[in-house]
Amino acid sequence: MLSFFKYAADWLIYGQLGFDPASRLGQAINFFVEDTAKIFFLLIVMIYLIALVRISLPVERVRGYLAGKHRLVGYFLGSVFGAITPFCSCSSIPVFLGFISAGIPVGMTMAFLLTSPLINEIAVVLLLSLVGWKITLLYVLIGLSVGIVGGLFLDAIKAERLLQGFARKVYEQGQHAQIEAGEKKRVTLQDRHVFAKRELTEVFGRIWIWVIIGVGLGAALHGFMPDNWFEAHLGAGQWWSVPVATLIGIPLYSNATAVIPVMESLIVKGLPLGTTLAFCMSTVAASFPEFVMLKQVMQWRLLVIVFLMLLIAFTIVGWVLNALY
């Protein structure tokens, strides 16, 4: 179905506007038109559809599901819920405190908080339309695993000791808390539509410009950078290229929407898959403002541990994938 956009772009750019399909400029413009149209279409459909469902799953209910779950099940569920319930990053602190006040372990809470930015409908739509379902699936599975393993690790080192004083008190009181799953409210079809429409305008209004910038950059790379440039210049097997990619990704946090379209071009130009994914994940998940916000509930030591844990995890993922592919 998505090949429609390819035909449409070919028809418009090569047929109607008369660009030469063999020219670099023609290819770059064609790439830009096809990808922007395709991504906008998919984003509009997906954001709307997901919002229709998500209205039934507020964080209050997620907390109800997670409270009192066996640990191993909990880490898995925490990650999965994190993937499907995005929340405004400014809600991180209330969500964190809300979870631990219900006696949910710090690691399980962090599994939720870490996967949430890593796997969201925007990243998934972009990956799907640009790099295909196999890499998207891989990305989602890795994202879930990072959340689960990260959560297990944080509980293994007893991360609750490194919370700020008041947050620790909340945690300790939470050990005896009885939390009822949030009451089920009846949601009409009309409510769903209103909510989804609002989500769509809000999210789309925020990210459309980044899609254009990202795809524009990708198109420029696509048209003007020789194929396999990276293989020629970096060599496919440079071990240090993965940690470097991870580090470069950190300051790009706010522009995840712009980074994924560039990724596609990087893969085509011969950047190894593992390096590219490590770069992408650190762009999406390791964001400084988010971490500074968590400072309100965590001591510096714990913040540094979480941050390093993410960087190490992404680097290992990159190495393993490079070795496999």
Partner 1 sequence: MRLEVLGTGCAKCKTLYENTQKALAISGTEAELVKVEDIATIMKYGVMSTPALVKDGTVLFSGRLATAEEIAGMLR
List of residues contacting partner 1 (CB under 8 A): 58-60, 63, 87-91, 93-95, 97-99, 101, 166, 170, 195, 198, 202, 293, 296
Cβ 4 to partner 1 shortest distance, Å: 34
Q: Please, what is the minimum distance in Å from the beta carbon of residue 110 to partner 1?
A: 15
When the beta carbons of 10 and 191 are compared against partner 1, the nearer one is: 191
**CB closer to partner 1, 209 vs 232:** 209
- Structure tokens of 45? 């459909």
Residues 260 and 214 sit within 8 Å (Cβ to Cβ): yes
Residue 245 or residue 294: which is nearer to partner 1 going by CB? Answer: 294
Block residue for tokens 């060599």: 235
- Write the DSSP string, 191-237: HHHHHHHHHHHHHHHHHHHHHHHHHHHHHHHHHHSPTTHHHHHH-TT
- Residue 185 CA, chain-centre distance (Å), reads 29
The CB-of-59 to partner 1 minimum distance in angstroms stands at 5
Residue with Cβ nearer partner 1 (134 or 186): 186
| Contact indicator for 228, 270 with CB cutoff of 8 Å | yes
* Tokens linked to 284: 């999406």
Nearer residue to partner 1 within complex by CB, 145 or 164: 164
- Compute the CA torsion angle 316, 111, 247, 238 (nearest 10 deg): 10
Nearest approach, Cβ of residue 288 and partner 1 (Å): 16
Least distance to partner 1, CB of residue 103, Å: 15
